[in-house]
Chain A
Amino acid sequence: MAEFKFLQGNEACVEGAVAAGARFFAGYPITPSSEVAQAASVKLPPLGGYYIQMEDEIASMAAIIGASLSGLKSFTATSGPGFSLMQENLGMAIMGEVPCVIINVSRGGPSTGLATKQAQGDVMQSRWGTHGDHAMIVLTPSSVQECFDQTVRAFNLSEKYRCPVIVLTDKTIGHLRERIEVRGPEEIEVIDRKKPDCAPSQYKSCAPDDDGVAPLPSYGDRHLLRINSSMHGEEGFLNDSPANATALVRRLWDKIEKNVSYIGKIEGYRLEGAETVIIAFGIAARAARRAVTLARAGGIRVGLVKLLTLWPFPYAQIREALDPNCRSLLVAELNMGQLVLEVERLFKDKKILRVNKWSGEDILPGEIMAALKEAGC
């Protein structure tokens, strides 16, 4: 049954995880994500689930990978330097094709940086933080309700594609309190991983079906599971031949990048006739929305594309949403300009404007308005 609750973004992530079926959390406390761990430690044990506080973020990431393979939907939460430590085993989850969810409540960096302050500086780390070629799914909520909804979606995508999924929030959203609708598992779509339906002797841990995803049994099932972080063939044994390396890295990439139409999600606001469109995600998208409302009231033809999926970048969806009159794109983000690099790369036909801030404070609608005016909008 749906309930209305007054929650923090961090708490809403845990409500979403539980509704999606998560029963295992491993983590290490770090500001500003600690409330995710706290809420998980309260919610999971009465449900027969597990909260385990590990010795660091490397071990936290490892434990959720292990638990997921034993059949429990698993997640962790972190921020800043903790997210950097998770990069090693994020790669493991990609290579081993292990469903799991990472809530990254971003804060100011580099290093221990602005531990208690706001930033969106992990646009690129969340995409490319672990080494090697890989695809990554990164979802970006901009409200407490979306923390719930996007965490549910993160679990569903991780189960569907056998991969880690990052929910990238930020300090402000994580600590913001809003009234939200917490829906029960029966009221939301819950996707569970595909299990093998062949005879156990026929099963190969890494042999994909037509959708590029291999069925995944749990440790303890009759189908013997072989997970391998090194370059491997269909049976999970080391295979570092050039042909196999080329094919495996390609498959892991394609199973995500070829499904952007399903994974990608944006929300448009007042795009009709918009000559300038703001592209933003997370808290910055809320300031942008206010700026659009104000600008429209003053007769400026501005709209907003809010990204609910940051990566894979939902290029086609954005392109389709833009009005034929759109001439410029303004990227508003709490960093020195990361998302804008992707926008510049893909929208060479538009004039690209930037609003950036890395002071530890949020972007204000007035600052976006000022940028619009300065650009002559």
Chain B
Amino acid sequence: MGLTYRDYLREELFPQMWCAGCSHGISLTAVARAMAALKLDPAETVVVTGIGCWGKADDYFKTHSFHGTHGRALSFATGIKVANPRLKVLVLMGDGDGVTIGGNHFIHTARRNIDVTAVITNNFNYGMTGGQYSSSSPEGTISTTSLYGTAEPGFDICELARAAGATYVARTTPYHVTQMDKLLAEAIQHKGFSVVEIISSCPTFFARYNYKVTAVEMMRLFKERAVDRERYDALTAAEKAGCFLTGRLHREEKEDFHTKYARLQQQAKARAEREVV
């Protein structure tokens, strides 16, 4: 088809709605590049989003799209994919949509191994509503609803995904764009529930409150603190706490929901026919 990543984007709607320095723009074009690399047919691709800053990303894709209620994106996506298994379904969520209000749907989508890809930009807070803490905010996070810090630890999204049954799990950052492109393409190609967590910067709130740095300095932070498995394993516990383990963290071949369900339909049909006879 010969589409470039720009053919998947509605550039006429640019500039993007995100704040200056927000990393979502980097993630957006990376998703488009993965689509182009895999030559996805826009008419067989559905971008599903929920609510939040990243939840506005569907506006920019020239594919089918679904923008729905907060936290339910994976449940809409489950219906979309199960009813038409030919579709490539990309579910773009933040940490709020993905693992906080949508936490229950997240673990169950993983458990069922529904063949959709979750692209979770994790900026450790709710940007759109004004910088409140979320379930991924690390303990002690300063936010507009936790000026004294938080008394609860944050989820490790990748660990959660893996424990719940996701069959592809990866983490990257907006600094590591080449890695991001590669992991996104791998995840979209993977048959089964795949999760790519993009550690993201919200310079307007989280970065300003907690690191007291600008968007550019956040990029330096990503560069320094993202480590691959080999380096990570060699770190002490104290060193690990300040780092992000990045790269492909988990991949297993396991039949997805639809493959199993198609078999069940065949058996049910055979049984129904026998019972009629």
Binding site for B on A (CB under 8 A): 24, 26, 45-50, 52, 54-56, 58-59, 62-72, 74, 88-89, 91-92, 96, 200, 218-222, 224-230, 236-238
Kindly provide the distance from the CB of B8 to the nearest chain A CB, expressed in whole angstroms: 12
Bitwise, B245-263 to A at CB < 8 A (1) or not (0) is 0000000000000000100
Candidates B43, B66, B78, B104; contact of A52 at CB < 8 Å: B78
Docked CA distance A28–B253 (Å):
29
Asked if B26 is at the interface of the complex by the 8 Å CB criterion, the answer is: no
When distances are taken between beta carbons in the complex, the residues of chain A under 8 Å from B273 are: 46
Docked CA distance A229–B48 (Å):
12
Kindly provide the distance from the CB of B19 to the nearest chain A CB, expressed in whole angstroms: 17
Q: Of the 9-residue stretches B68-76, B225-233, B235-243, which lies at the interface with chain A? A: B68-76
When distances are taken between beta carbons in the complex, the residues of chain B under 8 Å from A56 are: 104
Interchain Cβ contacts under 8 Å between A and B, 8 examples: A62-B75, A63-B78, A65-B68, A66-B76, A66-B81, A218-B84, A220-B86, A224-B65
Report if A46-B69 is in contact (Cβ < 8 Å); known contacts: A59-B78, A219-B80, A220-B86. no
Cβ-defined contact, B82 with A50, below 8 A: yes
Asked if B208 is at the interface of the complex by the 8 Å CB criterion, the answer is: no
Cβ-defined contact, B59 with A65, below 8 A: no
Kindly provide the distance from the CB of B59 to the nearest chain A CB, expressed in whole angstroms: 6
Report if A67-B80 is in contact (Cβ < 8 Å); known contacts: A59-B72, A220-B86, A237-B59. yes
Cβ-defined contact, B69 with A92, below 8 A: yes
When distances are taken between beta carbons in the complex, the residues of chain A under 8 Å from B190 are: none
Cβ-defined contact, B104 with A71, below 8 A: no
Cβ-defined contact, B108 with A70, below 8 A: no
Closest to A200 in B: B43
Cβ-defined contact, A66 with B65, below 8 A: no
Docked CA distance A175–B157 (Å):
44
Docked CA distance A96–B67 (Å):
9
When distances are taken between beta carbons in the complex, the residues of chain A under 8 Å from B79 are: 24, 26, 62-70, 74
Docked CA distance A66–B81 (Å):
8
Cβ-defined contact, A229 with B65, below 8 A: no
When distances are taken between beta carbons in the complex, the residues of chain A under 8 Å from B75 are: 54, 58-59, 62-63, 66
Docked CA distance A59–B82 (Å):
14
Bitwise, B11-22 to A at CB < 8 A (1) or not (0) is 001000000000
Kindly provide the distance from the CB of A254 to the nearest chain B CB, expressed in whole angstroms: 24
Report if A46-B272 is in contact (Cβ < 8 Å); known contacts: A52-B78, A59-B78, A224-B64. yes
Candidates A62, A200, A224, A237; contact of B76 at CB < 8 Å: A62
Cβ-defined contact, B80 with A66, below 8 A: yes
Docked CA distance A312–B63 (Å):
36
Cβ-defined contact, B67 with A230, below 8 A: yes
When distances are taken between beta carbons in the complex, the residues of chain A under 8 Å from B13 are: 237
Asked if B83 is at the interface of the complex by the 8 Å CB criterion, the answer is: yes
Which one of B43, B63, B87 has the greatest number of beta carbons of chain A within 10 Å? B43
Docked CA distance A313–B249 (Å):
57
Cβ-defined contact, A58 with B66, below 8 A: no
Candidates A24, A64, A72, A219; contact of B46 at CB < 8 Å: A219
Cβ-defined contact, A62 with B82, below 8 A: no
Docked CA distance A70–B272 (Å):
26
Docked CA distance A24–B85 (Å):
13
When distances are taken between beta carbons in the complex, the residues of chain B under 8 Å from A50 are: 82-83, 261
Candidates B66, B72, B77, B87; contact of A220 at CB < 8 Å: B87
Kindly provide the distance from the CB of B255 to the nearest chain A CB, expressed in whole angstroms: 16
Docked CA distance A71–B44 (Å):
13
When distances are taken between beta carbons in the complex, the residues of chain A under 8 Å from B261 are: 50
With A24-B79, A52-B78, A67-B82 already in contact, 11 other A-B pairs whose C-beta atoms are closer than 8 Å: A50-B83, A50-B261, A54-B78, A67-B80, A68-B79, A69-B80, A70-B79, A71-B84, A219-B64, A229-B69, A238-B59
Closest to B84 in A: A70
When distances are taken between beta carbons in the complex, the residues of chain A under 8 Å from B42 are: 224
Docked CA distance A54–B111 (Å):
12
The list of the 7 closest CB pairs from A to B, nearest first, reads A66-B79, A62-B75, A70-B83, A63-B79, A45-B268, A67-B83, A46-B272
When distances are taken between beta carbons in the complex, the residues of chain A under 8 Å from B129 are: none
Asked if B105 is at the interface of the complex by the 8 Å CB criterion, the answer is: yes
Contacting residues of chain B (138-185) with chain A, CB-CB under 8 angstroms: none
Docked CA distance A67–B46 (Å):
12
Asked if B38 is at the interface of the complex by the 8 Å CB criterion, the answer is: no
Docked CA distance A238–B108 (Å):
30
When distances are taken between beta carbons in the complex, the residues of chain B under 8 Å from A48 are: 265, 269
When distances are taken between beta carbons in the complex, the residues of chain A under 8 Å from B6 are: none
Docked CA distance A49–B82 (Å):
10
Cβ-defined contact, A225 with B68, below 8 A: no
Contacting residues of chain B (79-112) with chain A, CB-CB under 8 angstroms: 79-84, 86-87, 104-105, 108
Closest to A49 in B: B265
Docked CA distance A151–B261 (Å):
26
Cβ-defined contact, B65 with A54, below 8 A: no
When distances are taken between beta carbons in the complex, the residues of chain A under 8 Å from B271 are: 46
Docked CA distance A52–B82 (Å):
9
When distances are taken between beta carbons in the complex, the residues of chain A under 8 Å from B44 are: 220
Which one of B64, B78, B87 has the greatest number of beta carbons of chain A within 10 Å? B64
Kindly provide the distance from the CB of A103 to the nearest chain B CB, expressed in whole angstroms: 17
Kindly provide the distance from the CB of A32 to the nearest chain B CB, expressed in whole angstroms: 24
Closest to B58 in A: A226
When distances are taken between beta carbons in the complex, the residues of chain B under 8 Å from A64 are: 79
Cβ-defined contact, A65 with B83, below 8 A: no
Kindly provide the distance from the CB of B249 to the nearest chain A CB, expressed in whole angstroms: 24
Cβ-defined contact, B69 with A226, below 8 A: no
When distances are taken between beta carbons in the complex, the residues of chain A under 8 Å from B56 are: 238
Closest to A225 in B: B64
Candidates A45, A71, A221, A225; contact of B83 at CB < 8 Å: A71
Cβ-defined contact, B84 with A55, below 8 A: no
